Amino acid sequence: MDFTRIDKLKNKLKSLRPLNETELKRLREEFMIENTYNSNAIEGNTLTLRETALILQHGITIEGKHIREHLEAIGHKDAFYYMIELADAEHPLTERDIKELHSLVLMHDAKNKGIYRTVEVAIVGAVHDLTLPYLIQEQLEALLSEYEDMKRGRHVIEAVAEFHLRFEGIHPFIDGNGRTGRLIMNLELMKEGLLPVNIKFTDRKKYYDCFDSCYSEVRATEPLTQMIIAYEEEEILRYIKKLS
């Protein structure tokens, strides 16, 4: 797989003047709102992009929308900014990071936030079985350990794609796995000097197909890798345009 173009764009972005604090804050807020909308919409939240912006920027309550949907937007916003703090710290991904991100994502559910599920679950239409509850701790620890090996001799986007696919296959929490997993994906991209990516609600079928490709007999991770590359290029070009 050829990562030449994405690496060239990354280097070009690094060569440009850095964003000042105001510019960076504005771009991150724009991305955070769109990312919150898309990530929650993929999981069934019915807030529109405009409604999400009104809640997050102005604290407005949307008539006719469930309080849970409001809290999902606020929780994702808090988790997004915590993800940036973790990226700045640049330490290896830990189980604690994952649980803390999940606790923010699932702020509306005090009983389950940051807690591994204790019941069996299944995803309707999925081609694979999810990890049994008593194996979650063991498999997640193994994945974190193996992730360090995945990053050696491979492009970070390949490693991040594989980690995400396997994390979602473990499905450690009763709810919030997708949103947490996508935040982890962006955390790891940012640690390597890349930009966070925004998987669009309109691309959800293509995104779900990536899991079918991974958990079928083919065991392919390339479809998600290519998807991340395309989104990463889109984000870098957006930043370059602002700075040129």
* Domains of the chain (ranges, CATH numbers): 4-243 (1.10.3290.10)
Query: What are 191-225's pLDDT values in tens digits?
Result: 999 999 999 999 999 999 999 999 886 778 999 99
Q: What is the C-alpha separation between 200 and 188, in angstroms, rounded?
A: 19
pLDDT, residue 124, reads: 66
Predicted pLDDT at 130: 86
Residue with tokens 């999981």: 43
- For the residues 84-104, what does the mean pLDDT come to? 96
- Distance CA(71)–CA(194), nearest Å, equals 29
Phi, psi of 93 (to 5 degrees): -60, 135
For 10-54, how does the pLDDT look when each residue is reduced to its tens digit (9 = 90+)? Answer: 999 999 988 889 999 999 999 999 999 999 999 999 999 999 999
Helices (H), 59-123: 67-89, 95-105
Q: Which residues contact 211 (CB under 8 A, 6 or more apart)?
A: 126, 127, 128, 165, 168, 169
The token pair at 53 is 């912006």
Average pLDDT, stretch 97-111? 97
> Does the pLDDT of residue 134 top 60, yes or no?
yes
pLDDT in tens, 216-244: 867 789 999 999 999 999 999 999 998 87
Phi and psi dihedrals of 31, rounded to 5?
-65, -45
Q: Report whether pLDDT(127) > 60.
A: no
Q: Read off the tokens for 79.
A: 């988790």
What secondary structure does DSSP assign to 125-173, as a single string? T-SSPPPPGGGHHHHHHHHHHHHHHHTTTS-HHHHHHHHHHHHHHH--S
CA-to-CA distance for 194 and 205, rounded, in angstroms?
25
More confident residue, 82 or 19: 82
Q: How confident is the model at residue 119 (pLDDT cuts 50, 70, 90)?
A: very high
Q: What Rg, from alpha-carbon coordinates, does the chain have? A: 18
Q: How far apart are CA 189 and CA 166, in angstroms?
A: 17
Catalytic annotation, residues: 171
How far apart CA 226 and CA 119 sit, in angstroms, is 34
Tell me, what amino acid is at 22? T
Residue 90 pLDDT more than 90? no
* Contact (CB, 8 A) for 228 and 185: yes
Place of tokens 């995400």: 164
The answer to whether residues 12 and 240 touch, using CB atoms and an 8 Å cutoff, is yes
- Give pLDDT, residue 35: 98
Give backbone dihedrals phi and psi of 23, rounded to 5 degrees, phi first.
-65, -45
